[in-house]
Structure formats: C-alpha cells, structure tokens
Structure 1
Amino acid sequence: MKLTDTQIQDLYTFTRKHYVEYYDVQTELVDHLANDIEAIWEEKPELSFEKARDISFKKFGIYGFMDVVEEKQRQLSKRYLKIILRFVKEWFKLPKIILTACLVWLFYEVQSFNHAFYIYATIYFCIISFEFIKMFQSRKKITRKQKTTGKKWMLENIILAQGVGNLALILFYMVDFSLPNNHNFLELSQTNRVFCASILVLTIIIAHVTVHVIPNKAEELLEEQYPEYKLV
C-alpha cells in the first residue's frame, strides 16, 4: 500500500510542526517516514495513516527529530569547512601565492611602526565586524527567499549566515591568540613576528572566501548538494 500525494504533504506538515524548518531535512525525514509507514501497513494494513505515522514517529525517541537535525547540522558544517579549505588552498598556488607572500611581508614590515599593534587590531576588528554584518544581511535575504519559495535549506543557511557567524567567532579567538600581550611586536622573536603576520593574512583570506567567494558560488554549491534546488 503506497502513500498518496496528500499523505506525503501531510508528512511535510508533520515535520514542520515538530520543529524541522529546513526543506532538505524535511525531505529526508518524509522519505524515511513514508517507507516505514508502508512497512508498518504490510504487517498491519488495518491501521489508519495517522496511527501508522505516530508509530513511526515514536521510533525516533523522546527527542523526536532533533537528533536527526543535529546530525545533519554536523554533516553539513563539515562539508562547509571542506568548501572553505578548497578555496583557501587556491591562495597557496601560483599566481595567488605570490600575492599571499607579499602580504605577509607587508604586515611583517608594519610591525616596526609605532602603532603596529593598533593597526593589526583595527584590521581584525574590521574583518570580524564585516563578517557579522554579512551574516545579518544574509539572514534577511534567506528569510525573504523563504517567504517567496516556502523552502529553507540547511546548507544555504550555513553558507550564507550561520557558518559565517561561527567563523567570525573563531577569527575573534585568532586575534587574541596572534597579537602580542605586551602590544609590542618588536619584542617578539623573528619566527613569532612572521607567525603574527601570517595569521593576519590567513584571516583576510578566510574572510574573503567566506563573505565573497563562497556566497558568489552558493547557487552552484547548493545544486551540487541538492539536485532539486535548481527547480526552486
């Protein structure tokens, strides 16, 4: 006994009522529920759709769909990090590696300025602020799009908003880790000074990748993950 289209839509509504807001996760759960309901009907064909649905849902445990959502979040967050690494690696290949080396040298030389610490801190502050601004702008864009299409995608949210915000927090800790406690770069060893300059350049590259490169390729990346995304 197969589910009707109306029953499939009811399962989508059911997942939304149980706090699954992302269409891609809803679809996975609907597929699982539909297959399980059909299996239940093979053993107990007299059960109503609602009864079979509730039996299937109880198999998810006391937390319902939350474990599935969290696991999907972990999977796609890992995928997002791999996407970042993929584009960051391009900066360590010709010809971009030449620009990267020049930037490291430039910020190494900046350390000899009287106010070098504040120059570094200002750059970090601007980068992190821009990341958060981009995150809020993207969230508004996603909300508007969801109202138009009725669908929200988890990877899209990670690429355009959530991942950017989390990365901004990571970059904040990189600031604290890389800047000298005594505010004086010249008291550091040569190795540490090069390290500080390299961390700043890496931060700039990561920021460029997360707020410019990846969002511009978001459609392509989402179509790779979700073949049905291009139909939206």
Structure 2
Amino acid sequence: MELSNEQLLQIDNYIFSCGIKYCDVRTEIVDHFANILEEKLAKNPTLNFKQEIKNIHRNFSDKGFNKLLKEKTKSVHKKFYKQSFKHLITFFKLPKIIITGVLSYGLFLIMNFINDKENFFFWTYTFLLFLIVRIFYQSFKTKKQQKERFLVLNKTNNFLQLFNVIFISFNFLTNLRSDESFLNPIHNNIQLSVFILLLLFYWSGENIFYQNKKMVKEQYPNVSI
C-alpha cells in the first residue's frame, strides 16, 4: 500500500521533531520508514499510523537517530575531503597544471620583487585569514538564505577546522623563521609552495561545495538553497 503525500509529510515532521534538521538525511529516513509502513499497512489497513511511526523509531536503534546522524555526518565529511583532495591533485595534471604554474610563477615574481620577505609572508598570512573569514561569512549567509538545511552542504565546521589548523601551522612557521631564514631563497620558496598548496586546497574545497550545491538543486528543485 503506497503512502499518501500527507502521510509522508507526517513522517517527515516527526523525524524533524526528533532533531534531524537536515533535509537530505530526513529524506533517507522517511524512505526507510515509508517502506516499513507500506508493508505493515498492506497487512493491516486499520493500523494506527502515528503510533506505528513511534514504534518504528523505538526499534530503529538504542540511540534513536543520533547514531545514524553521527555516522552519516562522518561519511559526508569523509567524502567531501576525499573529493577535495582528488580535485587538488588535478592542479598538478594537464590542463590545470598550467594554472598552478602561472599562479606559482606570479607569486614567485612578487616575492622576489619585495625586498622584505617577512612582510611578504605577513600579507600571505593576512590573505589566508581573509579566506577563513569568508568561510564564516559564507556559512552565515547560506544558513540565512536556506529554508532547508542539507548535511552535504554543511562543510563549514570541518573544512574550517582543517583549514584553520593548516593556517595556524603556516603562521607558526612564519613566526619560527629567523631574519637569516628570510634571506634564504630555499626557505622562502618552500614557504611559498606551502601557501600555494593552501590556496589550491581552498579552491578545491569551494569547487566541491558548489558541485554538491548544484546536485542538491537538481534533487530538490522546489527547495530554496
């Protein structure tokens, strides 16, 4: 017995009230509940629908939906990083290696044009800080605009955490260097390479995010994202 839209909405509202705020996660759970309920209603059409939803929830797991959400979040973030690193590798293959080469050469020229290398790396540090602020702003703007939240688009916390760790490491590396080190071309080139990798990683993460956003728009055309 196929469930009506009203019954599906009833399941969705119940799952939402249980703390599952992400639309994509709720959709999976609704499908799971719907399959079970369709089988039960086929055998017993007079089944108490609301009560049966609660019964299925109780049988779902000892921790309800929390365990599922935790596992799903871990899986989504793992997939996001895997895709981001995979995209990062493309910057070292044709044709994107041309972009990497132009970016590297341009920054190399700027670095050598500036006599005060410590000042140059201070500005690279400032630019990375700007990117972190941008991630925060993007997250705030997205949450404000979205009528529905999607786990697959909730990259901010983990992406920011990882990017922030690398950013702090970059800053630590800059502060650790002595005046003599800033006069050493090899040391400067190594730190410049780290900065370029950070930029490309950020670029990759943003690319995957917008790919996921496009995918969500196709799957949920009636939802404002």
Q: 1:95 Cα deviation (Å)?
A: 1.6
> Pick from 169, 173, 185: which aligns with 2:164?
169
Q: How does 1:52-131 map to 2 (within 5 A)?
A: 52-93=52-93, 94-103=97-106, 105-106=108-109, 109=112, 113=115, 115-131=116-132
Q: CA 1:58/1:188 → structure 2, altered by over 3 Å: closer, same or farther? A: farther
Q: 1:124 Cα deviation (Å)?
A: 1.7
CA deviation profile, 1:33-62 (whole Å, cap 9, x unmatched): 111233444666654112211111012334
Q: CA 1:65/1:40 → structure 2, altered by over 3 Å: closer, same or farther? A: same
Query: Is structure 2 residue 212 aligned with structure 1 residue 221?
Result: yes
Q: Distance in 1 between matches of 2:40 and 2:129?
A: 52
Query: Is structure 2 residue 200 aligned with structure 1 residue 199?
Result: no
Query: Is structure 2 residue 7 aligned with structure 1 residue 4?
Result: no
User: Secondary structure of 1:3's match?
Assistant: coil
Q: 1:28 Cα deviation (Å)?
A: 0.2
Q: 1:25 Cα deviation (Å)?
A: 0.6
CA deviation profile, 1:164-183 (whole Å, cap 9, x unmatched): 53343233233146436243
Q: CA 1:44/1:196 → structure 2, altered by over 3 Å: closer, same or farther? A: same
Q: Distance in 2 between matches of 1:183 and 1:66?
A: 49
Q: Distance in 2 between matches of 1:47 and 1:221?
A: 39
Q: 1:226 Cα deviation (Å)?
A: 6.8
Aligned residues: 220
TM-score scaled to structure 1, two decimals? 0.75
Q: CA 1:48/1:107 → structure 2, altered by over 3 Å: closer, same or farther? A: same
> Aligned residue for 1:51?
51
Q: CA 1:88/1:172 → structure 2, altered by over 3 Å: closer, same or farther? A: same
**Contact map agreement 1:127 1:207 (CA 8 A) in 2:** no
**Contact map agreement 1:185 1:193 (CA 8 A) in 2:** no
> Aligned residue for 2:144?
143
**Contact map agreement 2:181 2:187 (CA 8 A) in 1:** no
> Aligned residue for 2:149?
152
> Aligned residue for 2:34?
34
CA deviation profile, 1:179-216 (whole Å, cap 9, x unmatched): 362434628987655432211111122234445x456x
User: Secondary structure of 1:59's match?
Assistant: helix
Q: Which runs of 5+ in 2 are unaligned?
A: none
Opposite residue 60 of structure 2, the aligned amino acid is: F
> Pick from 164, 180, 183: which aligns with 2:178?
183
**Contact map agreement 1:24 1:153 (CA 8 A) in 2:** yes
Q: CA RMSD in A?
A: 3.3
